[in-house]
Every structure is written in structure tokens, then in C-alpha cells.
């Protein structure tokens, strides 16, 4: 049993170290290729028609802001077609109708399309809207985005190259400093958008549409097979299918589209659950096709690392179960054990690939995007590391659901129309809440368990292990307590309402 625990622990470390190494490879590709900014082949002499598609479902707090910002786009009215693709079941529908009517009165070509059947969720709404879209180019915006007026002018001319199928802009964050959670989320997304997307695109690897703030060529969507409904990340699915057909994509890291980040833990968890589960669904669906394609080997390897990266959450969760028995039931490794080297040989890869590689990755993203404030921003790095661990239960659950084909609907991420550090529209004032689960209780149990593990290591003077394990209780307690704190008022309110009825 001693050898079983030890070997299992070591295999999990190898898995996590592999993904840490991949992160370093992305960083190396970024440093090598970031300067290769793409330029339009030429410019349109006459601007083409662009259809702006706004898919939404119960977004009463943000639709006015979104539609108003779309009306301010710097693009000729006679070349702009606006579609609100609404699947809502609440007041959002009336708000959208009113806003679209006002746009029509002002001379805009705008239409409101409402579905009572949510088949396909967002993918179904986009598929339905594309059938009547007047533009060959489709600019897609989720409800929480606020596009800059010049975004169409900065992107449309890249389509003068007939091989270009999609242009993705980089997300910016209008409520970055709202609270600690939004600051850490912004760092997570900055790393993905600035480093990963730039590195993949400019080094010739596959990269994917982020679901919003990007423009598609309609014929590219059609040739790739259209919007499929069989995954929760229809954007990733379509992106790989289109690139396998030979279409080229462009990522513009210096063209930004601001958006609102989830401000509460439950909203963040529901978003991460959907993204994680969807990526594994796409992995199951498309990975074999990637390896059958004529893409270069380095593209196939990178796509494999990308599509399987969320399996790391399963490995991280397994590590949580293995840490305690490994520390108490170690086999005798001879002179390595006698000299105390065996422990250091295992701790070093945890520290380097689990912490140092992550730290280097996010420090570089902040330094690249926020050169004036990056030293201040990276003070949140320890919490970022802890949050990544704390999310392992939530995201490992998503991975398992995808593996075993457990069907769940498209759970929207609650948005509240919050700008900057504005506190007037706090989440508690909204009826929109993320779906609740027992995940916070499991996280709380892990948090308490790791407090015991850390304290035990301190008592035994295992100071290195104590420091390395500290993010575990911090992460699990942060995610669990934040969720429980958010859920309790709703639970008490429901009980009060039930008592009032009786």
C-alpha cells in the first residue's frame, strides 16, 4: 500500500507537471511571436454589410446598455444590420422590443427575433438568426459586452483576404476593480487572451473564437457545418471545424471589447462549469478528427494539450486525496530517504510546475497589458493560485459530467449592469441567481481537511510542505464560504415565504 500511494501520487504529479510545462511553452511562443501583428491584405473600397448579432436570455439589467452601445458603432447606417436574438422569458423581451423600435425610428436596420423554444440555447439562437442575417459578416456580442465605437472599422478590413473566416478581439473588463474576485478573474482572462490566444494564433497553431466580441464570415460558418448544439461551448466546436476546413483566423490583442465580469462566486462557478464541461465535450467530439487531418504535428500536439487541459482539474482533485496518505505511508527509498532527498524531489515539481510556471505566466500577461500597474496587480497572484485550487471540485465535476455524457442545460451567468466599482447594482438586488448545488459543502470539507494537514506539517516542522500546501485550505475555504454566504439569504427567504404561506 505504501508503494501504491507513492506511485499514484507521483503519476498525478507527472500529469500536472505536463500541463505546467505546456504553460511555459505557451509563454515561450508568446515571447517569440507576439511582435508579428497581422495587417489587412488591403482595405474595402466600399464597406460591406455587417450584421451585429446580440443573443440573450433573461438579461434585463444589461440589454439597454448593450443596444445603446451598438447604436454608437462607427459604421454607416446603411451597412449595419442589428439582430437581437432573444430567448427570454421575463421583462427582457419587452426591454428589447422597446429598444429595437427606437432604433428603427432613428433609421437603423434593426430586428427583434424572439424564440419560445430554446432548442440549442445560444447556438440555436445564432443559427436561427444567421438564416435571416443580411450581412456576409456577423459580429457577435454577448449581453454583458459594451463594444467600442471603432471596433468594426478596426476589424472589417481583414476580411479582404478571402481565406480569413473569423476575427477575434481581446476582452477588456469594465468592472475589473469591483471586488477581489473580479480582480482575480481579470488576471485569469488576461493570461488566456493575451498570452494563449496571441501565442497560438501568431505561431500558426489552432486557436478558437471566444464566443463573443468576434466577427465571422457567414460562408465560413456554413462550410464548417454551422452552429452545432451538442456541446456547451459551440464557439470552440465551430472554431476547430472551420480551421480543419482550411479557414484562417486572426486574433487582434490590441483591439479590445469591454465586458462585465461575474461579481459573485456562484456566477463565476456556473460560468467555469459551462466552459470546462463544454471543452471536454469538444475534445471528445473533435480530437480524433484533428489527428486525422493534414495539420502539422506541432498543431496537433498543441490542440491536444488545449482540449485536454481541463483534465488537470481531475488530477488536482486526485492530488487532494493522495497528499495525506502519501505523507504518512512513504516507502523506504534507501539512501534518498535517509538523506531526506525523496521529499524534496517530489516537492520541487509541485512548486515549479504548479506555482512558478503559473506565476511566470500571469506576471507576463499583466506586465504586457498593464505596464503601469502590473507590480500592484500581481499582489493578487497568491489568491489566483488558491482560487485555481479551490475551483477544482466545481470543475472536476464538470469534467466528469462531460466524460459520462450527463446532460445539463446551458446555465447563463448572471449579469447586473455593473460598471467600474459601482456598488449601486449589487447582486443581492437581482432575481438572477446561479443554480445552487452541494459543491460548496464538499469544498468546505476539503478546506477543513487541509487546515488539519497544514497544521500537522507545522507541528512536525515540515515547513516546506506547510508553505506549499497553504493555497489548498485558502482556496477551498474561499470558494466554499463565498458560495455559502451568497446562498444563505436566498435559503432563509424561501423558508420565510413557505412559513408565510402556511
Q: What would the grid cell of residue 175 be? A: 468592472
Q: How far apart are CA 329 and CA 347, in angstroms?
A: 16
Which helix H or strand E contains 189, and what residues bound it?
helix 180-190
The answer to whether residues 283 and 308 touch, using CB atoms and an 8 Å cutoff, is yes
**Start-to-end CA span in the chain (Å):** 57
Dihedral pair phi/psi, residue 51, rounded to 5°: -100, 120
Q: Which residues of 395-423 are buried (b: 16+ CB within 10 A; e: fewer)?
A: bbbbbebbeeeeeeebbbbbbbbbeeeee
Q: Kindly report the number of other CB atoms within 10 A of residue 438's CB atom.
A: 8
Question: Which parts of 357-470 fold into alpha helices (H)?
Answer: 357-369, 374-377, 381-390, 392-403, 439-459, 463-469
Catalytic residues: 87, 235
Q: How far apart are CA 350 and CA 316, in angstroms?
A: 11
What strands lie across the sheet with 248-259, from one edge to the other? 109-114, 80-86, 50-56, 137-140, 214-217, 164-173, 248-259
The answer to whether residues 237 and 231 touch, using CB atoms and an 8 Å cutoff, is yes
HSE-up (13 A, CA, CB side) for residue 498:
6
Q: How far apart are CA 493 and CA 502, in angstroms?
A: 14
Q: What would the grid cell of residue 303 be? A: 490542440
> Helix or strand or coil: residue 67?
helix
Q: What would the grid cell of residue 239 be? A: 472554431
The string of DSSP letters for 77-139 reads GGGEEEEEEE--SSTHHHHHHHHHHHHHHTT-EEEEEE-S--TTHHHHHHHHHHTT---SEEE
Q: How far apart are CA 392 and CA 316, in angstroms?
A: 7
Question: Which parts of 245-380 fold into alpha helices (H)?
Answer: 265-292, 297-308, 312-328, 335-338, 341-351, 357-369, 374-377
HSE-up (13 A, CA, CB side) for residue 466:
11
Q: What would the grid cell of residue 459 be? A: 507541528
Amino acid at each position: 500500500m505504501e508503494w501504491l500511494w507513492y506511485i499514484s501520487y507521483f503519476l498525478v504529479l507527472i500529469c500536472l507537471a505536463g500541463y505546467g510545462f505546456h504553460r511555459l511553452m505557451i509563454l515561450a511562443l508568446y515571447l517569440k511571436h507576439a511582435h508579428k501583428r497581422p495587417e489587412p491584405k488591403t482595405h474595402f473600397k466600399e464597406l460591406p454589410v455587417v450584421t451585429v448579432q446580440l443573443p440573450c436570455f433573461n438579461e434585463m439589467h444589461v440589454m439597454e446598455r448593450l443596444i445603446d452601445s451598438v447604436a454608437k458603432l462607427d459604421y454607416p447606417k446603411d451597412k449595419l444590420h442589428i439582430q437581437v436574438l432573444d430567448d427570454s422569458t421575463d421583462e427582457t423581451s419587452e426591454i428589447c422590443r422597446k429598444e429595437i423600435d427606437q432604433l428603427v425610428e432613428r433609421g437603423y436596420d434593426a430586428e427583434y427575433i424572439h424564440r419560445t423554444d430554446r432548442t440549442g440555447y445560444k447556438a440555436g439562437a445564432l443559427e436561427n438568426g444567421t438564416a435571416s442575417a443580411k450581412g456576409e459578416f456577423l459580429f457577435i456580442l454577448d449581453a454583458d459586452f459594451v463594444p467600442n465605437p471603432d471596433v468594426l472599422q478596426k476589424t472589417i478590413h481583414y476580411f479582404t483576404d478571402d481565406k480569413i473566416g473569423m476575427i477575434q478581439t481581446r476582452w477588456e473588463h469594465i468592472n475589473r476593480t469591483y471586488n477581489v474576485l473580479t480582480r482575480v478573474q481579470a488576471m485569469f482572462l488576461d493570461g488566456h487572451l493575451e498570452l494563449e490566444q496571441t501565442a497560438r494564433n501568431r505561431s500558426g497553431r489552432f486557436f478558437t473564437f471566444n464566443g463573443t466580441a468576434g466577427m465571422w464570415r457567414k460562408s465560413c460558418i456554413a462550410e464548417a457545418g454551422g452552429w452545432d448544439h451538442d456541446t456547451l461551448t459551440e464557439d470552440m466546436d465551430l472554431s476547430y471545424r472551420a480551421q480543419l476546413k482550411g479557414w484562417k483566423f486572426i486574433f487582434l490583442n490590441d483591439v479590445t471589447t469591454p465586458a462585465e465580469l461575474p461579481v459573485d462566486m456562484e456566477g463565476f462557478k456556473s460560468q467555469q462549469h459551462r466552459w470546462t464541461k463544454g471543452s471536454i465535450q469538444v475534445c471528445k467530439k473533435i480530437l480524433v478528427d484533428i489527428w486525422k487531418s493534414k495539420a502539422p504535428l506541432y498543431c496537433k500536439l498543441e490542440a491536444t494539450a488545449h482540449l485536454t487541459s481541463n483534465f488537470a482539474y481531475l488530477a488536482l482533485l486526485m492530488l487532494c486525496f493522495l497528499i495525506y496518505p502519501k505523507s504518512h505511508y512513504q516507502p523506504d527509498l534507501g539512501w534518498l530517504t535517509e538523506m531526506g532527498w525523496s521529499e524534496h524531489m517530489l516537492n520541487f515539481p509541485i512548486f515549479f510546475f504548479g506555482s512558478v510556471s503559473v506565476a511566470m505566466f500571469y506576471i507576463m500577461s499583466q506586465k504586457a497589458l498593464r505596464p503601469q500597474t502590473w507590480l500592484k496587480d500581481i499582489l493578487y497572484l497568491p489568491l489566483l493560485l488558491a482560487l485555481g485550487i479551490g475551483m477544482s471540485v466545481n470543475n472536476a465535476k464538470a469534467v466528469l459530467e462531460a466524460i459520462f455524457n450527463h446532460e445539463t442545460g446551458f446555465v447563463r451567468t448572471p449579469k447586473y449592469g455593473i460598471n467600474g466599482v459601482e456598488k449601486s447594482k449589487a447582486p443581492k438586488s437581482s432575481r438572477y441567481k446561479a443554480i445552487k448545488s452541494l459543491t460548496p459543502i464538499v469544498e468546505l470539507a476539503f478546506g477543513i481537511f487541509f487546515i488539519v494537514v497544514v497544521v500537522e506539517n507545522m507541528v512536525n516542522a515540515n515547513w516546506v510542505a506547510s508553505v506549499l500546501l497553504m493555497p489548498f485550505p485558502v482556496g477551498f475555504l474561499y470558494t466554499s464560504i463565498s458560495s455559502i454566504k451568497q446562498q444563505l439569504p436566498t435559503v432563509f427567504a424561501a423558508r420565510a415565504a413557505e412559513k408565510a404561506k402556511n
